[in-house]
Homo-oligomer: A and B are copies of this chain.
Amino acid sequence: LIRVNTLSERWQAEVYIKCEQFQPIGAFKLRGASNFALQLKKGAKALVTHSSGNHAQAVAFMGRQLGIPAHVVMPSNSNKKKIENAKKWGAEVHLCEPTFESRLSTAEALAEQFDAVIIPPFDHEWIVEGQATCAMEILYDMPEVDIICAPLGGGGLLAGTALAAAYFGKDVQVMGAEPANAADGYEGLKRGERITSFTPNTVADGLRTTVGVVPFEVLKDLDIEVLLAEEDAIIPWMKRMWDYSKTLIEPSCAVPFAAMDACPERWKGKRIAIIVTGGNVDIDQLF
């Protein structure tokens, strides 16, 4: 946890960030992927996943750690940097048509071919359990925290955070943050029913996914509030947080800051931990 002085002054609060960009793969996704891989009773001969983002790196990294092959299915229009990232840890990348159906069928074919286990990105209790270790660490380091806020995409991290707070916290409020332009979680929780079809339109590429079945039930049961970030505020908040925290944060990580800054009076006097989920920015593209 790093204290962010400028933000603390701005909100008249004690604001800390939990720095998941410092994970070996530059993002929190390793928590869930490693828990899933290590829960397999008989182990696995190989790992398979379909993802164009940080989850692909997590599965690739776990393959290397366990000394077994990792196969990553990525849409053929993925950018070079993301393909490179998956290859960095020794995974074999399989390009497929850029549709969800093609990703799924390619992954299933590979799983059969290599007698491999498919590691899902978020919609599984082992993934939620793994992501929960992030909030467990926050509660260990700062037991007196009032609020923990995490971005909401597929929901694995937020559901894990909510469970960790329920089991190990005392009076900790957990909040999610979603782009207003990808508010399926917010809408679904309001209606009490998971939204299965929507078209996200946000720069926060990690949060375009639909909330999964397992995470949705947890968020609904624990009555988790979701804040919304206006689309226009996301990139300015990413840049601001680079300056305030001197760390790299991805566009998706800016969403909690943008959402919370829309109602600063709510945070006055509180001790707040915000989970910065990753720092995998394409730096060459910036310059």
Where the two chains meet, the residues of A that have a C-beta atom closer than 8 Å to any C-beta of B are 2, 5, 19, 21-22, 24, 26, 239, 242-243, 246-248, 279, 283-284, 286-287
Contacts and interface: CB of A to CB of B under 8 A. Distances in A.
B246 A283 contact: no
Contacts of A279: 246
A24 B21 CA distance: 20
A239 B22 contact: no
A62 to B, nearest CB: 15
A2 B19 CA distance: 12
A22 B5 CA distance: 10
Nearest to A249: B246
18 contacts: A2-B22, A5-B24, A19-B246, A21-B246, A22-B246, A26-B246, A239-B284, A239-B287, A242-B248, A242-B283, A243-B283, A246-B248, A246-B279, A247-B247, A247-B248, A248-B248, A286-B286, A286-B287
Residue with the highest number of chain B CB atoms closer than 10 Å, among A2, A242, A243, A246: A246
Contacts of A283: 239, 242-243
A274 B211 CA distance: 42
Nearest to A21: B246
A283 B246 CA distance: 10
Given A239-B283, A246-B247, 17 more contacts: A2-B22, A5-B24, A19-B246, A21-B246, A22-B246, A26-B246, A239-B284, A239-B287, A242-B248, A242-B283, A246-B248, A246-B279, A247-B247, A247-B248, A248-B248, A286-B286, A286-B287
Nearest to A240: B283
Contacts of A284: 239
Give 7 closest A-B pairs by Cβ, nearest first: A246-B279, A21-B246, A246-B248, A239-B283, A247-B247, A243-B283, A242-B283
A2 B23 CA distance: 11
Contacts of A287: 239, 286
Contacts of A242: 248, 283
A26 B248 CA distance: 14
A284 B24 CA distance: 28
Nearest to A239: B283
Contacts of A247: 246-248
Contacts of A243: 283
A287 B286 CA distance: 6
A24 B242 CA distance: 14
